[in-house]
Structure 1
Amino acid sequence: MTSKFFEKNNTVNDLRNRLLFVFFILIIYRLGAHIPIPLVDAKQILNSFSDDNAGIFSLFNLFSGGALSKITVFSLGIMPYISSSIIIQLLSTTWEPMIKLKKDGDFGRRKMSDYTRLLTVVLSSFQAVAMAKMIINFSIYSNFNFLFYSVIVITLVAGTLFLMWLGELINEKGIGNGISLIIFTSIVSNLPRSVASTLEKVRQGELNIIVMFLFLIVLFVVIFLIIFVERAQKKITINYPKRQQGRKVFAAQTTFLPLKINMSGVIPPIFASSLILFPITLIHWLDPNSSNFILNSIRYIITPGKLPYLFLFALFIIFFCFFYTSLVFKSSDTADNLKRSGGFIAGIRPGDNTAAYIDKIVKKLTIIGAFYLTFVCLLPEFLVTFLNVPFYFGGTSLLIVIVVIMDFISQVQSKMISYKYDGLIKKYKLTGF
C-alpha cells in the first residue's frame, strides 16, 4: 500500500510540476509584453493610427497579446516563427532536398528545426525593419540615425527569438504545444477587459440585452460546431487476410483508416490572413500617408471589415484547404502502404484503384472542411461589420483558442495514461521484457 501511495503521489507531483512550469513561462511572457522598446513613445504612435488602419492594427495587436499597442519587445509576437514553420513544412513536401532530409530521422528533424530558426531570424528582421520605419513615420522626432534603427530592430528580433525559446522550453519541460499555448495566451489576455467593456455597454443601454443574448447563443453554437467537426472522423474499413509468418498464424483482422473532416487544421485561415494583409501592411507601415490613387484603392479594398476583404478571405481559405490537404496527405502513399502490408478495402482492388477511392473520399471531406472553416471565420466578421456586435474574437482566433484547449486536454490525458503504463510496468516488473 505504501509503495502504491508513493508511486501515485510521484505521478501527481510530476504532472503538477509540469503544469506549474508552463504557468511560470506564460507569466514571463505576459511580463515581457509590457517592457517597452527604448527611445520610443508608444502613446504618441498609437494616437497616430487612423480608423482605416485600425482593423489591421488590432489584428496584429491581438496575436501579440497587446504588445504591439504598447510598442514592447514582444511587438512582433511569435508569428514569424509560425510562418517559418509553415514554410519549412511546405518545402518538406514539395522540394526534393527537404523531402530527403525529412526522411533522415532525428538528424533530419534537428536540421529542419535549425532551418526554421534561421528563417525566423530572417522574417522577424524584415518585419522589424518595417516596424522601425513605421515608428519613425508616426514619431514626433525627426533626427534618427543608424543606431536608432539598430536598437529597434535588434530589440524586436530578440523578443521574437526569446518567445521561440520559451515555446521550446514548454515543449521540453512542460506538456508540449508551447507555441500554441503562447498564441492562446496572447489571444485571451485582453478577454476580461473586453467582457467588462461589453457589460458596461449593456448597462448603459448602448447594446440591447436581447441582441447580447442572441449573440451568446450564436457563440455557443459556433463553439459546439468547432468541437464537433474537429473531433469528427470518417473511418474507412481496412481488412487484413489470414496470413502465416514462420510458425505463427495470424487470423484475419479488420481495422479502420481514420480521416479527419478538417485535415488542414487552422493553417488555411492563417495563410489567407497573411496573404491578404501582407501588401496592405507594407503600405501602412512603410508609406502610411501615401497619396497614390492605386495604393489608396488597394488599402481601402483589402481592409478588414470590407466586403472585398471578406470575399477574398473566403476564397483563399477554400483554396488553401485543398492546397494544404494535398500536401500533407498523399492517397497514393496510403494505398501503397496498405498494399505492402496486405490490407485492402472491400470491393476495391489494391493499388491505383484504392488510391483513387481514398482520394475521392478526401476531396469530399475537404469540401466539407473548407465550408466549415469559411463559415467559422466569416461569421464573426459579419456580426461585427453589419450588426455591430462586439465580438472580441475573430473567427480565426476563436478557432485557434478552441483547438489549443482541446490539444491541451489531450496532452494532459496522454501524460496521465503514460504514467499509468509506467506504474503497471514497474508493478509487474516488465521493464526488461
Structure 2
Amino acid sequence: MKKFIQNLKNIWSIDELRDKIILTLLLLLVFRVGSYIVLPGIDPKGLAGLSQNASKGMLGIFDSFAGGAFSNASIFALGIMPYISASIFMQLVSILVPQFQKIQKEGESGRKKINQWTRYLTAIVTLFQGGAYVAYLKSPQIAGGAIYPSFAFFFPFTTVILLTAGTLFVMWLGEKITDKGLGNGTSIIIMVGIMARFPASMAQEFASKQTRGGGGLLIFLIEIALLILTIMALIVLVQGTRKIAVNYAKQIIGNRQFGGARQFLPLKVNSSGVMPIIFAQAIMFIPGLLSNFQPTAGIARIFNDHGNIWYMLIYSILVIAFTFLYTALIFNPKQVADDLKRNNGFVPGVKPGQPTADYIGTIMDRITFPGAIFLAIVGILPGIARNLNVTAGFSTFYGGTSLLIEVAVILDTLQMVETHLLMRQYDGLMKTGRIQGRTTATTTGATGVF
C-alpha cells in the first residue's frame, strides 16, 4: 500500500504526465456525457424495446463499444465503430495493395495520407450506418413509438447528420487523447465504454445471487476469483513473446566500432490481437440474421444461443482459422529477414535471406497455434459462464472482445505511465520488472487494439 501511494505521488509530481492524465479524463468525461444525450425527436421513455434488442448478438458488442450510447439512441450512438471499420479496411488495403504499401513506407508523410483517407472513409461509413440506424429505430418493435409524430418527417435527415457529426467528434476526441493525452485514444474510448457497464453488471449479478440465500454470496465470490484468474491468464496471452536471438556483424568506421551486439527479435504469441474474435463474431452473426427472414428452428437455436455447444465449437474453429489468416496478413517473415540482412543482422546457425525467413515463419506458426487455441477459449468463455447461470451482462466480462480489449489497453496505459516515471529516475510501478504492453513486443507496426 505504501508503494502504491508513493507511485501516485511520483505520478502527480511530473507536470507533463499530470497534464496528460487530466486532459484524458476531461475528454473521456465529455464522451460519457454525450452518450446520454438523446437524439432530437425521440422520447427516452419509449426506448425499452431498443435497450432489449441492442443487448443481443453483434448489436450487443456494438452497444458495448459505444458505452451504451447505441441503446440510449444518443448522438454518439455509432460511437467510434465507423472509424474502427475504416481503420481496419485501410490496414488491410495497406497490406494487400502494393501502391498503398509504398505510401505507408514513406514515413510520416505516408502515415498522414493514410490517416486522412481513413477520416474520409469514416465519414462515408458513418453516413451509411446512420441510415441503417434510422431504419432500425423506425421499426415498430424497436423504437418506432418513441419518435414524436410531429418530427417524423425531419427525423431521418437530422439523425443521420447528428450521428455523423457525433462519430467525427468522438474520432477527434480519440486523436486528441493520442496526441495530447495518454495515447491510444481510440482504444481508451472503447475501454471506457466497456468498463462503464461493469458496475451495473456486477450489481445485477450480486442481486441475482442474493436471491439464492446464504450460498449465493459464496458463489459470487467464487465468480470474482475466477474473473481475476481469467484476467491474469489474458495478461500472459497479451504479453507472451518468443525471443529469437539475433547477432549483428561488427563494422569499423574510422576509429569506432559499430554493431557486434546480440539482440532479440520478439515474436508475439498473439500478434493478431482481438481481430480474429471480431471476424468470427461477424461471421456467426450472419446465419442468425438470415434465420430471421427464413425461419429455421435448428439454425436459429444454434447461432442465436452463445451457450450452445455447436455454436461454441464452430466459433472456436473460426477464431483459430482467422488467427492464422490475420497473422499471415500482418506478419511477413520475408520482410523481417530482408530487414535483418540489410542491417547486417543474422540468426545464429541460419543462413541470411530465404532460410532466415523460413526459420522465422516456422517459429511463428508454432507459437501462433497455442495462441489461437487460447484465444478461442477466451472467445467462448462468456458462453460457458452463461451456462453456469451467470447473468448475461456480467458473463461478457469473462472473456471475448470486451475483456481482451480492457486488458490490452490497461497494460499499454500503465506502460506509458511507467516510462514517464523511469525517464525521471523514479522507480517503476512494479518491483518485479517493467510492465510490458503490446507495443514492446511488436514487429509489424500494428500496435493498436485492432
Same fold (TM over 0.5): yes
2:273 pairs with 1:265 = yes
- Deviation of 1:243 (Å): 3.6
Contact 1:45–1:135 (8 Å) recurs in 2: no
Larger Rg: 1
Distance 1:272 1:143, change over 3 A: farther
Supply the distance in 2 between the matched residues of 1:291 and 1:9 (Cα, whole angstroms).
56
Residue identity in the other structure for 1:395 = G
Contact 2:41–2:151 (8 Å) recurs in 1: no
2:199 pairs with 1:192 = yes
- Deviation of 1:401 (Å): 0.7
Residue of structure 1 in register with 2:354 after alignment:
352
Contact 2:337–2:357 (8 Å) recurs in 1: yes
Q: Cα deviations across residues 364-396 of structure 1 (Å, max 9, x unaligned)?
A: 111121111111121122111x21113242521
2:310 pairs with 1:303 = no
2:158 pairs with 1:151 = yes
| TM-score, normalised by the number of residues in structure 2 | 0.82
Of stretches 336-345 and 411-420 in structure 1, the one that deviates more from structure 2 is: 411-420
Q: How many matched pairs?
A: 406
Of stretches 172-181 and 320-329 in structure 1, the one that deviates more from structure 2 is: 320-329
Residue of structure 2 in register with 1:87 after alignment:
89
- Deviation of 1:109 (Å): 0.8
Residue identity in the other structure for 2:227 = L
- Deviation of 1:93 (Å): 0.9
Residue of structure 1 in register with 2:440 after alignment:
none
Alignment partner of 1:404: what SS? helix
Distance 1:127 1:313, change over 3 A: farther
Q: Cα deviations across residues 253-278 of structure 1 (Å, max 9, x unaligned)?
A: 32111111111112221232234336
Q: Cα deviations across residues 75-117 of structure 1 (Å, max 9, x unaligned)?
A: 1111111111111111111111211110122221111111111
Of stretches 246-255 and 44-53 in structure 1, the one that deviates more from structure 2 is: 44-53
Supply the distance in 2 between the matched residues of 1:278 and 1:414 (Cα, whole angstroms).
44
Which of 105, 108, 111 is equivalent to 2:110? Answer: 108
Alignment partner of 1:252: what SS? coil
Contact 1:335–1:352 (8 Å) recurs in 2: yes
Supply the distance in 2 between the matched residues of 1:178 and 1:291 (Cα, whole angstroms).
39
Contact 1:56–1:303 (8 Å) recurs in 2: no
Residue of structure 1 in register with 2:235 after alignment:
227
Residue of structure 1 in register with 2:388 after alignment:
387
Contact 2:67–2:193 (8 Å) recurs in 1: yes
- Deviation of 1:310 (Å): 2.8
Task: Identify unmatched segments of 5+ residues in structure 1.
Answer: 1-7, 285-289, 422-433
Give me the CA root mean square deviation: 2.8
Of stretches 226-235 and 353-362 in structure 1, the one that deviates more from structure 2 is: 226-235
2:417 pairs with 1:412 = yes
Distance 1:116 1:275, change over 3 A: farther
Of stretches 339-348 and 405-414 in structure 1, the one that deviates more from structure 2 is: 339-348
Contact 1:194–1:392 (8 Å) recurs in 2: no
Residue identity in the other structure for 2:303 = I
Distance 1:274 1:163, change over 3 A: farther
Distance 1:97 1:251, change over 3 A: closer
- Deviation of 1:40 (Å): 1.6
2:66 pairs with 1:64 = yes
Residue of structure 1 in register with 2:256 after alignment:
248
Residue of structure 2 in register with 1:236 after alignment:
244
Alignment partner of 1:66: what SS? coil
Alignment partner of 1:238: what SS? strand
Which of 166, 176, 183 is equivalent to 1:176? Answer: 183
Residue identity in the other structure for 2:208 = K
Distance 1:48 1:415, change over 3 A: closer
Contact 2:27–2:173 (8 Å) recurs in 1: yes
Contact 2:11–2:18 (8 Å) recurs in 1: no
- Deviation of 1:65 (Å): 0.8
Supply the distance in 2 between the matched residues of 1:204 and 1:105 (Cα, whole angstroms).
60
Contact 1:42–1:69 (8 Å) recurs in 2: no
Residue identity in the other structure for 1:237 = A
Residue identity in the other structure for 1:409 = L
Supply the distance in 2 between the matched residues of 1:229 and 1:117 (Cα, whole angstroms).
32
| TM-score, normalised by the number of residues in structure 1 | 0.85
Supply the distance in 2 between the matched residues of 1:89 and 1:51 (Cα, whole angstroms).
31
Residue of structure 1 in register with 2:402 after alignment:
397
Alignment partner of 2:94: what SS? helix
Residue of structure 1 in register with 2:372 after alignment:
370
Contact 1:304–1:310 (8 Å) recurs in 2: no
Distance 1:115 1:304, change over 3 A: farther
Supply the distance in 1 between the matched residues of 2:185 and 2:259 (Cα, whole angstroms).
43
Residue identity in the other structure for 1:87 = F
- Deviation of 1:189 (Å): 0.6
- Deviation of 1:149 (Å): 0.9
Alignment partner of 1:137: what SS? coil
Alignment of 1:125-164 (within 5 A): 125-138=127-140, 139-140=144-145, 147-164=154-171
Residue identity in the other structure for 1:240 = Y
- Deviation of 1:302 (Å): 2.9
Distance 1:9 1:166, change over 3 A: closer
